[in-house]
Structure 1
Amino acid sequence: MTQNLYIPASTGGTLMSNMPLITSIEELTAEVITDLLQAAGSLTESQHVTAVEPVSFGDQSGLLSYLYRVGLTYSDGAQGPATVVVKLPTDDPNQRGISDALGFYNRECTYYNVVAPTAPFKTATIFGQAQATDSTDFIIVMEDLGHMERIDQVIGATLPEIETVLKALAKLHAVYWGHQDLENLSSTFLPMDNPIYHAALPGIFGAGWASLKVNAPDLLDPEIIEFGDNYSTHLPQMLAALNTPTTLLHGDYRADNLLLDEEGNLAVIDFQITSMGNCAFDIAYFLSSSVTSETRAAHADQLLHLYHDTLTAEGVNYSFEDLEAGFRVALAFCLIYGVASFAGWDSFGERQQELMRSMASRTIYSILETNALDSLNAN
C-alpha cells in the first residue's frame, strides 16, 4: 500500500511546532520539558520535571548543529526518561552559512514529522521541536539513544555492520522509490540537480579544497589534484547523473550517524542533508567515508550485490549495471564531503581533524581504485 508522506507545515510564528522556540541551551527549563513529556504520555499531569542539567556532547567543532544530553530530575514518584537530547544550530559561521543556504535544519525537522513514521529503521522519538519563520533557528528535543553503540567512523565499520546498514538503506530507498508524494516534498528535500547545488557547491568545494592542499597534501596525487582543480567543471554532469531514478536519500549516511543495539538492530540519526536522487549516492558516501579502504576494496562487489539483491527483493526493478555506473559517478562526486570541512581546519579539534583526514583519504582511494574518474572523462 502506498503511504501518504506529505504533511504541509503549519503557518504562524513557528513551523511544525509543539514547543517554544528556544535559541540557546540556557533557555531550556524544567517547565518546558515537563510540558513535552506530559504531552507524550511519559508523565501524568501531576508529575513534573524539577531540574534540567544539560551537558554538551564534547568537541562539536565542524558540525552543523550542537547536541546536548540533558539530565532530568523529577518530582517525588515521577518516572520518566533519565535524559533527553537537545539539538540546536551551530554558531560556527562557515557551517551555519552552509546550513542556512541549503535549508539543512528545515530538512531534519520535516523528516521527523513526515518521513520518520514510515522509515524502515528506528529513529529517535521526538518529544518537541520548533522552527522560526523569520530565520533558520530551530530546536529539537528527542529521545536519548545513548544506550546504543555508535559505529566508529575513524576506525571504520566492520563487515557485519556494513551488511546491516546496507540492507536497511536498500529498504529505505525501496519504500520511497518513485513515490507519488516526493514531488510535494522536493522544495524541502532538494533533488540532486536543483539549481541551488549548482550555485552553492563550487564555492563550498573550493574553500575546502584550497585548505586541504595546504593542510593534507600527502593525501593527494596528480590525478586527484587535476580533478579537484576542475571539480566545478564536472559538477553539472555529476549532479545530472545522480538526479534519477528518484528516491529519498539520507544524504549523510555515515558511521557516526548509525547506531546498533545489543541485538544488532539499527537506528539512524541526523537527517539535515536528506535529499532526493539516485540511490547510488548514499551507498557511495557510506562506503567511501565509513569503511576502511582495505575492507571496501576487498568486498565492494559483494556489498553492491547485497544492496541490489535487497532492493530487488523489495520490489524495485533496477539493473545492477545501472547501479554500478551510478556508484562510480557518486564516488567522484563524494570528494566534496572529504573536502568541504577542511575550510575550517584551524578551528577544529584533534578528533574532527582525524575524521576529516580519514574521510578524504578513503574517498580519494575509492575514486582511484575504481577508476571512477573514467566515468566522467568518457563523456
Structure 2
Amino acid sequence: MTTHLPAEIPTDISNVTPDWLTALLRARGYDDAQVVEVDATPVGTGQMASSFRLALRYATPCRLPDTMVAKLATGPAAQREFGSGAFRNEVRFYRELVSTFRVPTPAVFATICSDSGSEFVLLLEDIADGRQGDQIAGCSADEVRSVAVAAAGLHGPRWDDTTLLDDFPLPTPDDCDVMESLLDPMTDVFRSRFTLNAAQSSVVDWLVRDAGPWIRTPAEHFALIHGDLRADNVMLRGDGSLSILDWQTITTGNPLRDIAFLLATSLTPDDRRVHERRIVTDYHHALRAWGAALSTPGNQSSVLDYTFDDCWRDYVDNLIQAPLIIVFGAAAAQPTDRGDTMFSVMLERTAAAVADLDPERLR
C-alpha cells in the first residue's frame, strides 16, 4: 500500500491524476482511498493560485467525498517563486494553525508543499451548497456582518498571544525598510496599468506617504490576521453560515486591519455609510465573547479590556490596509479583465471610505 508522498508536485491540473491523488491521500492517512477517475473543473477567482473542483470515482467506497477542491500553484516559475511565501503560509495554516482558532474554514483532506514553496497542492472540502462572494458586485450588509463576526473567531481566541510571534513576528525595522523600498515601484506599476480618477489617485498618494510610518508604529494589540479578508474570499451558504478561504496572506498585526479592509472594499459606499458602525459593534461584541469564553480563572484575556472606542479607533486607523493590499495585490497577480475591474472598484470604494472617515489623510 502506498505510504510515501508523491515525488512531484503538479503545477498543471492535467498532472493531478488518479494515481497521484491516490498516493497523496494514502500518505495522509486515507489508506482505503484508491482514485480511479478524476474530472477537474475550474472554480473561483484566485489571483495567485488556481482552484478546481474534482469529481472523483473510487475503486471501492471510502471515507472521502466524491468531490473536493484542489488548489495549486500554476503559471510560470518566476510567478510561482514570487508567491512561494504566500503558498507556504496557506499550507501551514491548514496543517498546523486552523485548529487553534474558531474561524469557519473548509475542511482539509491533504496538503503537500515543496521546500521552496513554489509548488503546493491543497485538497479541500467542496462547499457545493455555497456561493462565492462577488468582489465587484459587493456583498449585502448582513453578509459582511456575518464575515466580520466570523473573523472574531480568528482574532479573539489568540488575542495578544505572544506564541504567535515565534512564527509570525511583528515587522522588524528591516522588514519595514523592505516594504518602504517597494512602495514606489509597486505604485508605479499600479499607475501604469490603471487610469485613476482624482479620488483614487489621492488614496495611492496617501499609501506612499503614510504606509511607512503606519507599518513602523508598534501594534498596541495583535492577533493572527487573514490579510485579504474580502468578498471573493468567502463562501456563503443559504442558511447564513459561511467559510473563509485563501489563507495565503496571514500575518500578525492589528486585527482591525481585516475589518477595515473587509468593509471598505466589500460594501458599496452607501451600504457602508449606513451599516458600518453596527457591523463594527457586532464584531466587537463577538471578539469579547471569545475572550470571555476562552479565559480561565487568573488568566483573563486582555480582549475583555478592549473597548468599543478602542475598536472604532483601530478600524479607522487601519483603513490603509485597503490600498496596501490593492496595490501590492495587483502587482503580484496575473492581469485579467476581471481582476483589473475588481482592483479599480475596490480602490474607488476605499477612496470613499477614507474621505468619509478620515478625510485629512487625503490632504
Number of matched residues? 347
For residue 57 of structure 1, what is the aligned residue in structure 2? 43
Residue 355 of structure 1 aligns with an amino acid whose one-letter code is M
> CA shift at 1:198, angstroms?
3.6
| Structure 1 unaligned spans of 5+ | 1-16
> CA shift at 1:275, angstroms?
0.6
For residue 9 of structure 1, what is the aligned residue in structure 2? none
- Which secondary structure does the structure 2 equivalent of 1:140 belong to? strand
Identity %: 24
| Structure 2 unaligned spans of 5+ | 292-302
CA contact (8 A) 1:242 1:277 kept: no
Output one character per residue of 1:106-163: Cα deviation in whole Å (capped at 9) or x when no partner: 1111111122123313322222222222453222222222322222221111122122
Residue 354 of structure 2 aligns with an amino acid whose one-letter code is I
User: Which residue, out of 77, 83, 90, partners 2:67?
Assistant: 83
For residue 8 of structure 1, what is the aligned residue in structure 2? none
For residue 291 of structure 1, what is the aligned residue in structure 2? 267
For residue 131 of structure 2, what is the aligned residue in structure 1? 149
For residue 350 of structure 1, what is the aligned residue in structure 2? 337
- What is the TM-score of this pair, normalised by structure 2? 0.83
| Structural mapping, 1:299-318, within 5 Å | 299-315=275-291, 316=303, 317-318=305-306
For residue 16 of structure 2, what is the aligned residue in structure 1? 28
Distance in 1 (alpha carbons) for counterparts of 2:320 and 2:267:
16
Aligned Cα RMSD in Å? 3.0
Output one character per residue of 1:296-336: Cα deviation in whole Å (capped at 9) or x when no partner: 11122222222122222333221223222222221124212
> CA shift at 1:238, angstroms?
1.0
Does residue 1:200 correspond to 2:179, yes or no?
yes
User: Which residue, out of 115, 118, 130, partners 1:133?
Assistant: 115
> CA shift at 1:263, angstroms?
1.9
Does residue 1:71 correspond to 2:55, yes or no?
yes
| Structural mapping, 1:9-24, within 5 Å | 20-24=7-11
Q: 1:263 to 1:342 in 2, by over 3 A?
A: closer
| Structural mapping, 1:262-341, within 5 Å | 262-315=238-291, 316=303, 317-341=305-329
Residue 87 of structure 2 aligns with an amino acid whose one-letter code is Y
CA contact (8 A) 2:173 2:216 kept: no
- What is the TM-score of this pair, normalised by structure 1? 0.80
Residue 39 of structure 2 aligns with an amino acid whose one-letter code is E
Output one character per residue of 1:197-246: Cα deviation in whole Å (capped at 9) or x when no partner: 5413552564345543663223x33xx64563463442232113473311
Distance in 1 (alpha carbons) for counterparts of 2:123 and 2:235:
19
CA contact (8 A) 1:51 1:72 kept: yes
CA contact (8 A) 1:331 1:372 kept: no
Output one character per residue of 1:261-314: Cα deviation in whole Å (capped at 9) or x when no partner: 232122111110001011110001101111111111112222222212222233
Output one character per residue of 1:90-111: Cα deviation in whole Å (capped at 9) or x when no partner: 42578546424xx211111111
- Which secondary structure does the structure 2 equivalent of 1:175 belong to? coil
Q: 1:136 to 1:210 in 2, by over 3 A?
A: closer
User: Which residue, out of 157, 160, 167, partners 1:185?
Assistant: 167
Distance in 1 (alpha carbons) for counterparts of 2:165 and 2:332:
35
